[in-house]
Every structure is written in structure tokens, then in C-alpha cells.
Amino acid sequence: MFTMMNHARLNVGLEGVGIAERAYQRARAYALERVQGKPLLSGSTTIAGHPDVRRMLMDMKARTEAMRALAYFCAGQMDRAAGHADAQEREQALALVGLLIPVVKGWCTDSAQGITSDGVQVHGGMGYVEETGASQHLRDARITTIYEGTTGIQANDLIGRKLAREGGRTLKALLGRIDGDARRLAEMPDAALAQIGGVLAASARALGDAADWLLAHDDQPAQCAAGAVPFLRLAGTVIGGWLSARMAEAATAQLAARSGDAGFLGAKRATASHYAAHVLVQAPMLRDIVTGGAASTLALADDQL
């Protein structure tokens, strides 16, 4: 049912998640012990009190949590495709796995590069000192975008075999689920969840617009391929944002029921809000690159490059 390559690509995506998580842990530990300058945040005595350092740490944390959720969601669909009692459910899950595999492999490893680079930046000059390990994470993340199929190969697979071949049916079904959750969250009295829901709804529309453009221009393969990697990044950003929103909703419900670790659950809400405000809002930009960026990408002749 599942090819060895699908498993390999899922595992490489998870490798990106693991490297990103370790880079975050190391950067967080360093930021909480390194004293330099005058922190602007009250209660902080280390560089963790500098807002830009806090921004990088929050980006690392939010992106990694979304990546992990996407990889685990895909793995869960693999289980449903293999073992669900209903044949139709198995078929739908199998189609969803096919759509998600290139996104997990491509987006999680691509994102890991940015996360590990931020880890070096948090360390400042110490990021280049081998004893810190920060630069090793960046080197480790770099190779993950190459083996088992480069990011470009994953992206072309996504827009070709996974999107165009079935007319976008599986993606549109997934977007229906995302849009339904987004609209429900946007109408909630909880201000944080409503804000996340509003951004998620706009990002889902952006992904749908980009998919529609690719399907409408299927007879122009070069133009579509020029936007393939931005489309893959858009898909990962939106689906990861959807799963992040679901985590925030679940955390809110547990807090209301006074169940679980309140600090952990509160952090889940804050992380999801940060993802929506800093990452998910990039979806319309990525859509515009997919739908309007091909002309400049392909403008120069070989001897002009």
C-alpha cells in the first residue's frame, strides 16, 4: 500500500522536525543563561528579555510545533488507510497521505533550515563556536532538503501527480475541513481563537486560489513549475496553521475544564497565536508568488543568468 519511498520521505520530514526541535531547545537554554545588554522585558535578566531574541525563539517554537503536528497527522492518516474498518475511509485516507507526503518532506525540512539558522542567530558569535552545537544543527538541516528527493522534486510531485492528476479533489476536500474549522473559530467569543480563525480562513482561501490557478494553467507546465516550491510552502504553512489552531482549541477546552497543566496549555494557545500572526499571514504573499511570479522567474535567457 505504501511505498518504501513514502516512508522514507515521511521519516526525512520527521528528521527535519527533530533537528528543529533540538535547535530550539539549545537556543532557548542559551538565551536563558546568557547575560548581555539591558533586557526590555520585565522579569528577565538574560538575552531572553530582548524582544528580538524572544521573537526568534517564538518563531522556532511555533514553526516546529506546526511541523510536528503535520508529520503526525500524515502518519495518522497512514494508519487509517491501512486499518480503518470502512473501505471508503481507507481510500480517502490513502489519497490524503499521497497529498501530504511531499508537503511533510519538503516543508518540514525547508522550514528546519530557517529554524536552525535562527538558532545560530540567537547564539550570536557563539553560534559559530563548535562547542555550542548550534552550527551543527544548521548543517544537519541543510542536507535533509536534498536526499530522498529535493524540495523541487517534492513540489513538482505535489502540483503534478498529487494535484493536477485528480483535479485537486483531495486538496479541496481538506480545504473544506480547514475552512469549516476556521469559520467556527472566528465566531468564538474567545478573542485569541477568533483571531486565529480569521487568519486561518484567509490563508485557506489563499491556498485554494493558488491551487485553482495551477489547475487552470495545467497546459503551461513551465509556469506552474516556477511556482511549485512556493505552492508547497503555502500548503505546509496553511495545513500546519490549521493543526496549530486545533491544538489551541483543544488547549482552551482543557483549561476551561481545569484539566491538565495550565502553563503548558497556556503556552499552546500563545504559540498558536504567534504562528497565526507571524507565519500564517504569509499565505496571501505565497499565493501571489504562485499566481504572478512565473514571468520574472523565466524572463532571462541562459546567457543572461
Catalytic sites, residue numbers: 148
CA–CA distance, 249 with 196 (Å, rounded to integer): 10
- Minimal CA–CA distance to 8: which of 170, 163, 154, 156? 154
Residue with cell 497521505: 97
For the chain, how far is it from start to end, CA to CA, in angstroms?
44
Query: Can you tell me whether residue 218 is helix, strand or coil?
Result: coil
To the nearest 10 degrees (0 to 180), the angle between helices 4-31 and 134-144 is 160
Classify residue 75 as exposed, middle or buried by CB count within 10 Å of its CB (0-12, 13-18, 19+): middle
CA–CA distance, 132 with 127 (Å, rounded to integer): 7
| Amino acid found at 100 | L
Q: How far is CA 22 from CA 17, 35, 100, 119, 246, in A?
A: 9, 22, 24, 10, 24
Sign of CA dihedral 165, 166, 171, 172: positive
Phi, psi of 84 (to 5 degrees): -70, 145
CA–CA distance, 107 with 43 (Å, rounded to integer): 36
